[in-house]
Structure 1
């Protein structure tokens, strides 16, 4: 079972990183990597374990979403709540959760990568598929770590003893270059489809994520503007610049025709009588692993397999006023993102709808998480094209491709007028186009965890917090979250706390 596997395989690193003062010998329950990684099936189980940890409550089933979405102010919180007033400190629970889980995952990956080339497989295709998956997962973990914490230790080989458990932190640029190296290798060896099926990375996953990495390297804090040209070159590998709604050959991605098909739309039982707005179909399953899924984290309700807790944790939560009013009323994405109820004594409420509960308890949901969808790459094409060449027709076509999908609404309905295409009348300069692009990203990815890091890389975090009516809570330190104080203590001088904590 996935969750059993990853807990067993990560026990060793957990003891190294969290129990240094108490560790006297390797626990008997730990699987020795020297004894375990002996066959193709061993590496398959190890990779499945790494995927299980990536899908766990600590990371993409719960933890990472809270770190991305709640501070961004998508949901209403009460006064004094740390999510509302952004009062994170060095003992912040999510710092420890995300730090520990990512480094457990990284060490699992390093152990497997250290052995995989020496193991005989039934085919090179399957060996490359697993190796590419492992490299992709390591890149994702370091991407999360460097965005969350800035300078972090860079472990690229297995940690098997206490001597190797504490490394000096690397510069942000070094971490990004390691991510680029992993994704370039993954892009080279992965196929257009992964023989292990859904939930595993493909060539398109690596190609698309590498474009995103270049976009982030071009922004704050690195501000390496030379990466804009690389981002444009990279994203054009996967998005057809002549018709941005579809992918370039040999890939087979496209925009999901109906925006609601990306999400399983269920109204919480408490609001089952309220109905939705427009013609969104409540209870319609998502088209999981569909044409827009460049990389999708798969979850399953089958007992013993990893389940998604995140959809339940936001089920029925109140959407903040700033986000509600950000949409034009007739934008179909607003109907998909939030549901209106008039049955509450407080009046009309706008409730989050993209990630509703599909199970019976808090952690038995099967909603997949769209880690990287094709719409994101289309908007990256628009952004990179604008930065390199100005607001060209390619940039407008890419931006309008996403708006056109929102304008079409549900399949079979007459096309609506909103949101209308943008033209050079709306933006004739790079800066004017940036503002249109930034707004579109909020509309397209509301409640999907993109906003917070977007605002940091574009140096708009203070602006957006002020826009939300929370100016008193902005501090420059919010560029990064606090590093776990326990890890700084264990690091014996190798780790430094981020400024302001």
Structure 2
């Protein structure tokens, strides 16, 4: 099934997303063929194509990871690089391709959404497809607004050069559109998507909406009323009395063994080719996977490229030192010793290569995990009610799972008590630190530090104090986009 999905995704993405100028906000040619969008199967194929863009090289198969992760200090590169020095330039190719990939995703979703109600087919299938398209468009805008701030807001398909360029919308307007899309997705999607695993469902729409509300409560909107909206959403999924499991109708729970979330490859590959020795496969699309971006080793652009490259890099000593020495998650995330062949880093294990060559890995990418939602629940409960037993119960559920080291119970990390969580601010810091440990190398921490206003302190702890400025809170609008729109788009501050 997965193989069929990716073959079809390649075909439809190429069909819908072709364009004369790759680094454009939206494609320059007409992308709605007259003979398409006529049948149910056309919309099934179009939705797969939209999902295929998310899986593609511009986004989660490669480029977006460089933009998201290396600047966070989770991963280590040599000093003097753009990523580690946070010295992004307006012509950076990774930033430009990430922008383009998201707008291709959005335009594919818009094109299908504009047409789907014109065609008659069974309501259950139509609702599932519409809900998934709304969800995917929301993902595109949620990523873009956090990365670039004020961005053009396209809610209708771009079918000609005449409507390709829109002015930037305010950040609040973009978030309002994201909320609207996720509310529609949650209403339309079933608990179990009839199109199978790896497809959006009611739980991921509800969970991502909760996460969006958390971001709206933080910087730059600082809309503290959204804490209450987030709590309402999270209680749809999480049982406050037993946060390690979800409430009906959902079937999420914390994976009992942290290593089961990731492929554990026993032998590191040291060249660009050659089959690694496989260890334990990840429990992909398992009970903790609220939404995973699925990959299958089928070659081409629709296999995961990024995990392969990580074996040549590694995790930073800063991240290594965030863990207590006997925290099982450290051993799963990285080689548990700061002395490796690369020098200056400790080799990463969390997303090891699983393929034969550099671009045929099949590691899924965890876009939203249940543990992420549990920690957000602890954070939201604390922000509203302070360090309550309910908030402590949530963070401690994640820490209790971490003590189960492949069936052997450890004492580290211990549960937090009122002794550590003496105030709202104290528990706030504990939750944010726990998110760094639990979600490291998963594209989360950088944006957590920005929304919570802690980025400057983190960079100082990483011995990068001179890199902080307001400039680094956003990436530059690609210079090519400003040129194409003849200056209609304004560059972010200080670029």
Whether TM-score is above 0.5 comes out as yes
| Distance change in 2, residues 1:207/1:420 (3 Å) | same
**Shift in Å, 1:32:** 3.6
Partner in structure 2 of residue 4 of structure 1: 11
Contact 1:267 1:353 in 2 (8 A): no
**Shift in Å, 1:345:** 6.5
**From 292, 296, 306, the counterpart of 1:296:** 292
Contact 1:136 1:182 in 2 (8 A): yes
Partner in structure 2 of residue 428 of structure 1: 422
Quick check: 1:472 aligned with 2:479? no
Specify the SS of the correspondent of 1:350.
coil
Partner in structure 1 of residue 119 of structure 2: 119
Quick check: 1:325 aligned with 2:332? no
Q: Which runs of 5+ in 1 are unaligned?
A: 273-280
| Distance change in 2, residues 1:108/1:329 (3 Å) | same
Q: Distance in 1 between matches of 2:99 and 2:26?
A: 15
| Distance change in 2, residues 1:471/1:282 (3 Å) | farther
Contact 1:333 1:444 in 2 (8 A): yes
| Distance change in 2, residues 1:163/1:133 (3 Å) | same
Specify the SS of the correspondent of 2:367.
strand
Specify the SS of the correspondent of 1:251.
coil
Specify the SS of the correspondent of 1:37.
coil
Q: Distance in 2 between matches of 1:95 and 1:347?
A: 28
**Shift in Å, 1:151:** 0.4
Where do 1:10-409 residues align within 5 Å?
A: 10-12=17-19, 17=24, 32-121=32-121, 123-270=122-269, 283-303=279-299, 306-340=302-336, 350-409=346-405
Contact 1:247 1:253 in 2 (8 A): yes
**Shift in Å, 1:34:** 3.2
| Distance change in 2, residues 1:111/1:261 (3 Å) | same
Q: Deviations over 1:214-254 (max 9, x none)?
A: 00000000100110010111111111111100001111100
Q: Deviations over 1:148-207 (max 9, x none)?
A: 100001000111112211111100000000000000000001001001001110000100
Q: Distance in 1 between matches of 2:179 and 2:311?
A: 36
Q: Distance in 2 between matches of 1:195 and 1:145?
A: 29
| Distance change in 2, residues 1:82/1:303 (3 Å) | closer
Cα RMSD, aligned residues only: 2.1
**Shift in Å, 1:62:** 1.2
Specify the SS of the correspondent of 2:203.
helix
**Structure 1 stretch 340-349 or stretch 207-216: which is displaced more?**
340-349
Quick check: 1:496 aligned with 2:495? no
Q: Deviations over 1:253-283 (max 9, x none)?
A: 00001000000011453479xxxxxxxx971
Specify the SS of the correspondent of 1:288.
coil
Contact 1:267 1:316 in 2 (8 A): no
Specify the SS of the correspondent of 1:142.
helix
Q: Distance in 2 between matches of 1:345 and 1:118?
A: 60
| Distance change in 2, residues 1:245/1:461 (3 Å) | same
Q: Deviations over 1:303-362 (max 9, x none)?
A: 568211111021242221111111011111011001146885787962110000100111
Q: Distance in 2 between matches of 1:97 and 1:345?
A: 32
| Distance change in 2, residues 1:240/1:19 (3 Å) | closer
**Structure 1 stretch 476-485 or stretch 59-68: which is displaced more?**
59-68
Q: Which runs of 5+ in 2 are unaligned?
A: 1-6, 272-276
| Distance change in 2, residues 1:345/1:111 (3 Å) | closer
Specify the SS of the correspondent of 2:179.
helix
Q: Distance in 1 between matches of 2:403 and 2:202?
A: 31
| Distance change in 2, residues 1:306/1:469 (3 Å) | same
Contact 1:338 1:353 in 2 (8 A): yes
Contact 1:342 1:349 in 2 (8 A): yes
Specify the SS of the correspondent of 2:142.
helix
| Distance change in 2, residues 1:314/1:11 (3 Å) | same
Question: How many residue pairs are counted as aligned between the two chains?
Answer: 483
| Distance change in 2, residues 1:304/1:77 (3 Å) | closer
Q: Distance in 1 between matches of 2:52 and 2:342?
A: 42
Specify the SS of the correspondent of 1:370.
strand
Contact 2:96 2:478 in 1 (8 A): yes
**Structure 1 stretch 487-496 or stretch 101-110: which is displaced more?**
487-496
**Shift in Å, 1:17:** 3.5
Partner in structure 2 of residue 277 of structure 1: none
Partner in structure 2 of residue 486 of structure 1: 480
Q: Distance in 1 between matches of 2:364 and 2:329?
A: 19
